Amino acid sequence: MVQVEYKNVTKTYEDGFEAVKELNLDIKDGEFLVLLGPSGCGKSTTLRMLAGLEEVTDGDILIDGLKVNHLPSGARGLGMVFQSYALYPHMTISDNLSFGLRMSKGEEKLSTEEINKRVIEAAEMLDLSDHLDKKPKELSGGQRQRVALGRALVRQPKVLLMDEPLSNLDAELRHQMRNEIRRLHDELGTTTIYVTHDQIEAMTLADRVAILDKGILQQHTSPLDAYNNPANEFVRTFLCRHIDDLVETANNLFNDTK
Ligand SMILES: Nc1ncnc2c1ncn2[C@@H]1O[C@H](COP(=O)(O)OP(=O)(O)OP(=O)(O)O)[C@@H](O)[C@H]1O
Ligand SMILES: [Mg+2]
């Protein structure tokens, strides 16, 4: 089942700049899709249109077969995690995790019991159980980023959107969190769209990768297939040569230390 579809989606900003051009892309139920490309290629714009934070200029975006172009962001059933995770500094971790749920109104409103249950579950999943009564400033960067992830997960979103969520962390933590994110995905099976400009991150996380350049989709396939069969010169340089260079550097280091 296809869960998210971009059909001929174009985004033209007010100044006339075309950031995304006639994008056709499908994300299957339970899939982990990575949007990959250099800075300015339109990754965030693509994600933000799905999130309802940017208007679609042309074309349609569908979630579960339903056109959402004009649906308010909050009604789309999405969870979002961004690079700057802006936790509420004066609230405890527990309150940060539950805030969105407590603010829900109408049909969305959950009982206090259900909210508490979800917070406890998320905290266990993300190894935050011992920190629930603390304030954000008492946590490390990695722990704070896990709170941001937990805040999205407690909503039990249909689709989880992440825009460079790890770029504020150091290399070691980024590696650790990357594994966490993939493990969580395998456990929960939530359809996920993850934005990064980091080729290795894309290769290690994605079921399929959508590679963008200058607002145009270049290739949409498994990471290994993109590496083995790059669709064009751009993918060959941006993905394959970059990875080959990394491997060569690692080999040289290894040989030097032998
Ligand atoms: N509000 C805006 N008005 C005009 N142009 C914009 C606006 N927002 C983004 N752009 C332009 O659209 C293009 C795509 O931006 P976008 O933020 O989607 O890139 P990105 O791939 O996420 O880059 P990065 O990796 O640096 O985050 C860029 O050239 C950017 O300058
Ligand atoms: Mg971006």
18 alpha carbon to ligand 1 midpoint, in Å?
10
Position 1 scores a pLDDT of: 67
CA distance 257 to 251: 10
Q: Choose the residue to mutate in 21, 36, 43 for probing ligand 1, maximizing ligand atoms within 8 Å of C-beta.
A: 43
Query: Do 193 and 47 contact (CB within 8 A), yes or no?
Result: yes
> Interhelix angle for 141-153 vs 93-103, to 10°?
20
Q: Which ligand is nearest to the CA of 36?
A: 1
54 alpha carbon to ligand 2 midpoint, in Å?
13
Which atom from ligand 1 is nearest to the alpha carbon of 11?
12
| pLDDT (tens place) for every residue of the chain, 258 residues total | 679 999 999 999 999 999 999 999 999 999 999 999 999 999 999 999 999 999 999 999 999 999 999 999 988 999 999 887 789 999 999 999 999 899 887 777 889 999 999 999 999 988 899 999 999 999 998 899 899 999 999 998 999 999 998 887 888 888 888 998 999 899 989 999 999 999 999 999 999 999 999 999 999 999 999 999 999 999 999 999 899 999 899 899 888 877
Position 141 scores a pLDDT of: 85
**107: exposed, middle or buried (Cβ count in 10 Å: 0-12, 13-18, 19+):** exposed
23 alpha carbon to ligand 2 midpoint, in Å?
17
Q: Which residue lies with its CA nearest to atom 30 of ligand 1?
A: 40
CA distance 228 to 221: 11
129 alpha carbon to ligand 1 midpoint, in Å?
37
Which atom from ligand 1 is nearest to the alpha carbon of 38?
25
Which atom from ligand 1 is nearest to the alpha carbon of 20?
14
Q: Which residue lies with its CA nearest to atom 18 of ligand 1?
A: 42
A 10 A CB-CB count for 139 gives: 17
Position 54 scores a pLDDT of: 96
16 alpha carbon to ligand 1 midpoint, in Å?
13
Q: Which residue lies with its CA nearest to atom 29 of ligand 1?
A: 40
Q: Which ligand is nearest to the CA of 53?
A: 1
Strands (E), the chain: 2-12, 18-28, 32-36, 58-63, 66-67, 78-82, 159-163, 191-196, 208-213, 216-221
Mapped onto helix, strand or coil, the DSSP state of residue 240 is helix
Q: Is the CB of 134 under 6 A from ligand 1?
A: no
